[in-house]
């Protein structure tokens, strides 16, 4: 273990993932792909609804989720606290 002294463990990122982030990320990737496709093929692009959906998906990433079900997310210095995934601590 001595060679790891003073270094952090590598992180594959899996512990930070959640179903909601995957779903919103997938939805956004589909939306952007179709938007690019429609732009290139000169078809009608409903800009307003598209931007609204993208904004909602982006905001969903920042919304608090104060559930007790998440188990393996790192505590980020909040050992023993609730498993809130929001970057805004006060929102929980």
Tell the smallest beta-carbon distance from residue 30 to other proteins (Å): 6
Burial class (CB in 10 A: 0-12, 13-18, 19+), 38: middle
Tell the smallest beta-carbon distance from residue 44 to other proteins (Å): 16
Site for other proteins in 18-37 (CB under 8 A): 18-19, 22-23, 26, 29-30, 33-34, 36-37
Q: CB 88: neighbour CB atoms within 10 A?
A: 10
Instruction: Calculate the CA 55 to chain-centre distance.
Output: 13
Residues binding other proteins (CB under 8 A): 1, 4, 9-10, 12, 14-15, 17-19, 22-23, 26, 29-30, 33-34, 36-37, 40-41, 72
């Amino acid at each position: 273990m001595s060679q790891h002294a003073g270094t952090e463990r590598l992180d594959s990122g899996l512990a930070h993932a959640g179903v909601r982030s995957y779903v919103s990320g997938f939805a956004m990737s589909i939306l952007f792909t179709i938007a690019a496709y429609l732009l290139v093929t000169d078809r009608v692009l409903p800009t307003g609804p598209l931007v609204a959906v993208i904004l909602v998906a982006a905001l969903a990433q920042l919304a608090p989720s104060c559930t007790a079900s998440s188990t393996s997310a790192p505590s980020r210095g909040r050992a023993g606290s609730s498993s809130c995934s929001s970057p805004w601590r006060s929102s929980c």
